[in-house]
Structure 1
Amino acid sequence: MTQDYPTDSRQMLGRLRAAMAQDTGGQARLDQITHLIAEEMHTEVCSIYLFRDEETLELCATQGLNPQAVHETRMRMGEGLVGRVARTGKIVNTDNAPSTKGFRYMPETGEEAYSSFMGVPIQRLGEKLGVLVVQSKNARSYAEEEIYAIEVVAMVIAEMAELGAFVGEGAAMSARHQQQVLFHGATAQEGAAQGNVWLHEPRVVVTNPIADDPVRESERLNEAVEELRIGVDRMLSTAAGGDKEQLEVLEAYRMFANSKGWMRRMEEDITRGLSAEAAVEKEQSTARARMREVTDPYLRERLHDLDDLSNRLLRILTGQGKETGADMPANPILIAHNIGPAELLDYGRSLKGIVLEEGSVGSHAAIVARALAIPLVIHADQITTEALNGDQILVDGDQGVVHLRPDETVVAAFQDKMAMQAKAQERYTSIRNKPAETLCGTIIDLHMNAGLMADLPSLENSGAEGVGLFRTELQFLIRNKMPQRAELSELYARVIDAAHGKHVVFRTLDIGSDKVLPYMKVIEEPNPALGWRAIRIAMDRPGVLRMQVQALLRAAAGRPLSVMFPFIAQREEFTAARAEIDKALEREHILGHPVPIELKIGAMLETPSLAFAPDSFYDEVDFLSIGGNDLKQFFFAADRENELVRRRYDTLNVSFLTFLEQIVARCDASNTPLSFCGEDAGRPIEAACFAAIGLRAMSMRPASIGPVKSILRRTDLTELRDVIHQASADGLQSVRPRVMDYLREKL
């Protein structure tokens, strides 16, 4: 049954603003809000439930329920109708609450006397703060206008909470942005850093959610939207004649910026009492809620465009985010939802650490962070909401942990850890120019991974004997259009020059999977890691490979050159790719250009299939490099981007080490040089085991060379090999425990 109870949202917002303006404590404000909402909505009950932690809601204020239940009644996320609203983020509106699925009887509140129930989430741009509830004895289904009024009030409560309106004496909420917070994320680049927060996109704070003059607010909105449209048109004119994909994105921007429906909804919100900023944010919250539910990638991307436009519009309206003279703090640690490689490179080495809410271990940002040796933690959920510019922050990239506004005890412990690491680095410096020679007299060649010119100074400082992997895709990823052959040739020549005669292995373009070029059409695939990527793209679109090979040959200018193809799964792929180099060589001869005095062509062994390739492949290839990151995920069928499984399987698993030994044996039989490249090569324990089973070359990030060299110089590989084989003979799943015991005893 539905009854008409006239509700004027503007009148209710006006009273709400008056309540907010009073000089009272946080609890008193909440109590007053529940009283005026119940009065305006003609209901017996109005209650506000707020989150005490991520999973627990607490009754913090009520009009109509037992006042003794305030701060006593708690429920878990999803528990009861209130918990259901909190979990789903959707409104529950029923005229018979006790018979509604999920209803929970709470005798301490006395709510069994009330039939109707409407619960609305209190949230701000996706951050869940609590639930606002109204209840009546009559069997009453709340009308559309009433639902709208409560939604608007819930949004204003969220804004007021952001501004700290509910803290103080008798506070219902703790003061925001003041307590220490611990974030558990995932490691994307190891290392530790202490510094101060620098937000990549500072959060826009709406300080005036309720407005007096709807006419003036509508004018402000229209002026801001016009400025937004002019800005989008300017971007389009700048990009005219450029990349088609970029133009399509900007055209979508212009479509949204000129959307009459978007404008109409925001103007209706203003008519009902919201300020222009609050109206924009209300529509933005709606778009984000839809984004969470939409599975279609195209629709999600379009909703993301609308979200980005809303941010731009909010910055125009508030003036926040423009040039305000704010300076980056000392020792800046970048906080962002996500970030592209070009934007990250703009910051350069000024950053001490990076923390992202999204990202992946193989993302563009992670690649650049590794190249710059900056600690990176990903999946730090909600940190952009909690952090403020200038906040003290500690980033533990080794553990994937972030301490925001830490207390003195945590800071002291963290500084001790950093001091120990610094002391270890001093020890590594003393052996920088010494070979990685083991106690049994075996010399292991240690090389570094690189992808930017900024990496090359590390070649001398780290003690690396060369560059075992130069990732050529970074120069493609950080641009908005395809680089020219002359540009690439100049870059590759500078890399060879900077190596000062040391060996450099250039890996040809490794794109696809988690590395998609901004100007390349995205191909939706069920499983990109196993899909159209790396050499597969190069063979289907050979023009880019030919251009890159020509650039490499010209960069060598008669000097030795080593080129490696990524993701080779069978001999035919390598043969076809090598044929492209042969064609390019012939063309360079015809043109009279100098060709490399020595040309070595290798492959990355990243798929188990290549380990079982015919002997002719091992005879044909000049060298092999085990791509440990991909090989391990395919060997164990465990996606390295999936936090649920990526740490489940140990590199020192007996089966994986046995597999690597088989590869070593095949390369020894064919006299094919073999190296190991990947994160595990830079971990001292793993590196020692790789050396013990026969690997004589490894490539890793520059910072890992010192620790790896240190452990190798103190290890007898013959003894360690016996430990590994005995652990295998004893039926152990992993050799790690035995190896750790041995090393603890010997080192």
Structure 2
Amino acid sequence: MPHSSAVESRVLLKRLQTALAEPLGADAGQRRLDRITAIVAEGLAAEVCSIYLRRGADLELSATTGLNPQAVHLIRMRVREGLVGRIAHTAEPINTKDAPRTRGFQYFPETGEEIFASFLGVPIQRLGEVLGVLVVQNQTPRDYTDDEVHGLEVVAMVIAEMAEFGVFTGTSETDVPGPHALPYYTKGVIGQEGVAEGHVLMHDPQVAISNPVADDPAAEQARLAEALEGIRAEIDEMLGADYLADGGEHREVLNAWRMFAHDKGWVRRMQASIDAGLAAEVAVEREQSETRARMSRVTDMYLRERLHDLDDLSNRLLRRLTGAANHNGDIPEDAILVARNIGPGELLDYGRALKGVVLEEGSVGSHAAIVARALAIPLVIQADRITREAVAGDHILVDGDQGLIHLRPEDNVAEAFRAKIDMAAEAQEAYAALRDKPAVSRDGIRVALHMNAGLMADLPSLVPSGAEGVGLYRTELQFLVRRTVPKRSDLAALYSKILSSAGDKPVTFRTLDIGSDKVLPYMKRDPEPNPALGWRAIRVGLDRKGVMRMQLQAMLRAANGRPLRVMFPFVAQFDEFREARAHLLDEVERERKLGHPVPDSLKIGAMLETPSLAFAPDQFFEMADFISIGGNDLKQFFFAADRENERVRRRYDTLNVSFLTFIEQIAARCDGHDTPVSFCGEDAGRPVEALAFIAMGLRNLSMRPASIGPVKRMIRNTDVGEARDVINRARRSGEQSVRKELMAWINARGIPVA
């Protein structure tokens, strides 16, 4: 096939299809690979055709026509090694008529390839993952044409699809392992603690096509055209909706989808793949694979977002072609959702039907992580290759306490995991017995334990957890999961239900904390070099007074004469708190003049999340009715370590001497002004860290509901005075952290901390 055309490509694919359908005996996998190399070599008038497949981190020569057959399964190379390794690394073809002089060339004498000058290699890839490399070679110098490159890429795509379908699987040691058959283990990042065992529910469409070759190209073109028209109409309908009239980021995404859906180059490439012999779904996947390969090489965030938009659009197109939806309501009882990424609204759609969530991307501060924490669903993020390895229905173990994922686990792993679940269940029974008992240490220190919340669904946990109230209610979730600004009346009704559900227990509402990693879909976002230190939280509220005013009015009306506690987030300066407090008091006076009932008790506080606020004037501590230390943000600013950055965030220990001394100073300053102070954040729910905070003088902690039991049990079994003595000795020793000495004392005393 020296002048490869679309028609000739289809002829080549038909020959492959026929050959691969033949029964070939016990070693069918190897025989099929051998048949492919022979057919492709003949079709492209090549003297050599070789297939290199990934085996772990290596590429193995798995089949060849033209090279030394003794080298098959013996030659292995690392990714980036030689021309083949370079193709695997870049996911881009190499076409040269002088291979020995091409950058990266490496000679393997066992193959006998020294006589072949011309070289054309293309990646065998599926959905952005390179599974191997397909190569043709000739002795005489030869420029392979664009048609020949395209034809070889089409064959490589078919090989990838057939590998996914298990066509090359065999039983011998040299055979390709069956796809999605072996156990898979990966360590991700903890998004929400907890453990779960269940079966995989895939969020994104999975397409494994037994016949990737188009029997009727015209019919496949018609299917593609119909699917494209469908998504174009769907996007236009969403763009025409009233809730997008004011623009915002959501509209920008839809406009990007619309642009790509009408992009002639994108459509033309998929049509060309169908003309070359691929089924419509495979043509879309081929284009999606190349998009994901480009995505991995792009560092510009704007371009990466646009490539993400194109990837999402390809998923929508695949759903239309396959008739699949995100999920059809038939969610298994033990479903664990696996996705590349997911929005907060989509996660809420699944709700508590899920036992766990595993994401290939995401961050600890993402909207999905916030929702998972609110729903108390174990979440692991940045789980490498999980969407590639997992198949719907796979047995999966999620250890959110350590960020571990076991897919298709071996029996001994599953048994050990179930033992951990049983131990956790036994511990929960012990915590339940402490529900109505106070958190008082052996030396008489009384600690108030409150829970964090962000959804109405959290409130049923208030009584069973033993929490004394809601120390932090995150109001931004109601804004994040909607496409428009919520109405004041809707917020007032929601806040009223929250107060009613809490009964006589206090609820502290934090005003809208947006910006940084929490961006509203309808709010235009200006690029910032460092969003965590940028326009966020109270800064947004003071600049956009209309939104703050509306939310404060909703809270006042929800209280309807009942006590109300309001807290402003991310206060860095006294003036910010003074101004925000004045706005709230103005709204109280306005409500009174309108004849509306006002709270019979109003407490106004601030979150101390920046070191600067700890050194505010005395007047701040006198004016604030209460202060909540926002541990998650404060720690990252104190250590200058982004909590989203895995390379640095784990280098800094909460029990660092400097940080504990800082917490001690804050507690002492608040005590000096009789200002109640609490610690709110993930560390408050970790018994060892909680003990250190109590020893530093804190008497109020706010955490997720599931952490209250372990922390209360620890407090009731501890002498805080002794713990403080241990910490002071460790501080005097010059050690950077007190953890080692504190843990040694805890273990010696047999204090339960898990």
Into which bin does the TM-score normalised by the smaller protein fall?
over 0.9
**Which amino acid in 1 is paired with 2:463?**
E
Aligned residue runs from structure 1 range 654-733, under 5 A: 654-733=657-736
User: What residue is the counterpart of 1:278 in the other structure?
Assistant: 282
User: What residue is the counterpart of 2:579 in the other structure?
Assistant: 576
- Cα distance, 1:233 vs. partner? 3.2
Structure 2 counterpart SS, 1:720: helix
Asked whether the 8 Å contact 1:204–1:315 carries over to 2, the reply is: no
User: What residue is the counterpart of 1:19 in the other structure?
Assistant: 19
Asked whether the 8 Å contact 2:475–2:510 carries over to 1, the reply is: yes
Indicate which of 86, 97, 100 corresponds to 1:98.
Answer: 100
Indicate which of 122, 125, 148 corresponds to 2:124.
Answer: 122
User: What residue is the counterpart of 2:397 in the other structure?
Assistant: 394
Aligned residue runs from structure 1 range 503-652, under 5 A: 503-652=506-655
Structure 2 counterpart SS, 1:435: coil
Range with greater deviation from structure 2 (354-363 or 258-267): 258-267
Structure 1 counterpart SS, 2:111: coil
User: What residue is the counterpart of 2:270 in the other structure?
Assistant: 266
Aligned residue runs from structure 1 range 466-481, under 5 A: 466-481=469-484
Asked whether the 8 Å contact 2:50–2:64 carries over to 1, the reply is: yes
User: What residue is the counterpart of 1:10 in the other structure?
Assistant: 10
Structure 2 counterpart SS, 1:437: coil
Asked whether the 8 Å contact 1:288–1:303 carries over to 2, the reply is: yes
Task: Report the identity percentage.
Answer: 63
Cα deviation 1:5-42 (Å, max 9, x = unaligned): 65732222122112221122111000111111112222
- Cα distance, 1:248 vs. partner? 4.2
Aligned Cα root-mean-square deviation (Å): 1.8
Instruction: Give yes or no for the alignment of 1:496 onto 2:530.
Output: no
Unaligned runs of 5+ in 1: none
Asked whether the 8 Å contact 1:239–1:247 carries over to 2, the reply is: no
Structure 2 counterpart SS, 1:149: helix
Indicate which of 34, 52, 74 corresponds to 1:72.
Answer: 74
- Cα distance, 1:291 vs. partner? 2.8
Cα deviation 1:474-532 (Å, max 9, x = unaligned): 11111111001111111111111111111111100000111111111122211111111
Question: Aligned in 2, Cα 1:693/1:583: closer, same or farther, shift over 3 Å?
Answer: same
Range with greater deviation from structure 2 (400-409 or 211-220): 211-220
Distance (Å, rounded) in 2 between the aligned partners of 1:215 and 1:744: 72
Asked whether the 8 Å contact 2:205–2:319 carries over to 1, the reply is: no
Range with greater deviation from structure 2 (521-530 or 695-704): 521-530
- Cα distance, 1:84 vs. partner? 1.0
Question: Aligned in 2, Cα 1:275/1:703: closer, same or farther, shift over 3 Å?
Answer: same
- Cα distance, 1:240 vs. partner? 7.0
Cα deviation 1:291-339 (Å, max 9, x = unaligned): 333444444333333322322222222333488x783222111111111
User: What residue is the counterpart of 1:135 in the other structure?
Assistant: 137
Question: Aligned in 2, Cα 1:33/1:200: closer, same or farther, shift over 3 Å?
Answer: same
Asked whether the 8 Å contact 2:3–2:147 carries over to 1, the reply is: no
**Which amino acid in 2 is paired with 1:283?**
E
User: What residue is the counterpart of 1:417 in the other structure?
Assistant: 420
- Cα distance, 1:93 vs. partner? 1.7
User: What residue is the counterpart of 2:111 in the other structure?
Assistant: 109
Range with greater deviation from structure 2 (504-513 or 112-121): 112-121
Aligned residue runs from structure 1 range 124-203, under 5 A: 124-170=126-172, 172-203=175-206
Unaligned runs of 5+ in 2: none
- Cα distance, 1:456 vs. partner? 0.8
Structure 2 counterpart SS, 1:525: coil
Asked whether the 8 Å contact 1:38–1:63 carries over to 2, the reply is: yes
- Cα distance, 1:210 vs. partner? 1.4
User: What residue is the counterpart of 1:342 in the other structure?
Assistant: 345
**Which amino acid in 1 is paired with 2:221?**
S
Asked whether the 8 Å contact 1:469–1:504 carries over to 2, the reply is: yes
Distance (Å, rounded) in 2 between the aligned partners of 1:330 and 1:209: 33
User: What residue is the counterpart of 2:319 in the other structure?
Assistant: 315
Indicate which of 41, 44, 50 corresponds to 2:53.
Answer: 50
Structure 1 counterpart SS, 2:650: coil
Question: Aligned in 2, Cα 1:495/1:419: closer, same or farther, shift over 3 Å?
Answer: same
Range with greater deviation from structure 2 (507-516 or 584-593): 584-593
Cα deviation 1:348-397 (Å, max 9, x = unaligned): 21211111111111111111111111110111122122212221111100
Distance (Å, rounded) in 1 between the aligned partners of 2:732 and 2:258: 67
Distance (Å, rounded) in 2 between the aligned partners of 1:67 and 1:331: 49
Structure 2 counterpart SS, 1:567: strand
Question: Aligned in 2, Cα 1:544/1:262: closer, same or farther, shift over 3 Å?
Answer: same
Aligned residue runs from structure 1 range 235-250, under 5 A: 235-239=238-242, 242-245=245-248, 246-250=250-254
Matched length: 743
TM-score by length of 2: 0.96
**Which amino acid in 1 is paired with 2:114?**
E
Instruction: Give yes or no for the alignment of 1:287 onto 2:307.
Output: no
Instruction: Give yes or no for the alignment of 1:376 onto 2:379.
Output: yes
Asked whether the 8 Å contact 1:5–1:42 carries over to 2, the reply is: no
Structure 2 counterpart SS, 1:537: helix
Asked whether the 8 Å contact 1:118–1:135 carries over to 2, the reply is: yes
**Which amino acid in 2 is paired with 1:183?**
T
Range with greater deviation from structure 2 (111-120 or 598-607): 111-120
- Cα distance, 1:127 vs. partner? 1.6
**Which amino acid in 2 is paired with 1:177?**
H
User: What residue is the counterpart of 1:84 in the other structure?
Assistant: 86
Distance (Å, rounded) in 2 between the aligned partners of 1:603 and 1:153: 62
Question: Aligned in 2, Cα 1:259/1:100: closer, same or farther, shift over 3 Å?
Answer: closer
- Cα distance, 1:105 vs. partner? 2.0
Cα deviation 1:154-176 (Å, max 9, x = unaligned): 11110111111101355631111
Distance (Å, rounded) in 1 between the aligned partners of 2:229 and 2:602: 59
Distance (Å, rounded) in 2 between the aligned partners of 1:735 and 1:44: 68
Distance (Å, rounded) in 2 between the aligned partners of 1:454 and 1:278: 42
- Cα distance, 1:46 vs. partner? 1.2
Question: Aligned in 2, Cα 1:154/1:373: closer, same or farther, shift over 3 Å?
Answer: same
**Which amino acid in 2 is paired with 1:718?**
G
Structure 2 counterpart SS, 1:443: coil
Cα deviation 1:402-438 (Å, max 9, x = unaligned): 1111121111100111111111111111111111100
**Which amino acid in 2 is paired with 1:19?**
A
Range with greater deviation from structure 2 (194-203 or 462-471): 194-203
Instruction: Give yes or no for the alignment of 1:446 onto 2:449.
Output: yes
Distance (Å, rounded) in 2 between the aligned partners of 1:345 and 1:265: 36
Distance (Å, rounded) in 1 between the aligned partners of 2:229 and 2:658: 64
Question: Aligned in 2, Cα 1:516/1:322: closer, same or farther, shift over 3 Å?
Answer: closer
User: What residue is the counterpart of 1:255 in the other structure?
Assistant: 259
Question: Aligned in 2, Cα 1:534/1:117: closer, same or farther, shift over 3 Å?
Answer: same
Instruction: Give yes or no for the alignment of 1:300 onto 2:304.
Output: yes
- Cα distance, 1:275 vs. partner? 2.3
Distance (Å, rounded) in 2 between the aligned partners of 1:208 and 1:311: 20
Distance (Å, rounded) in 2 between the aligned partners of 1:167 and 1:571: 68
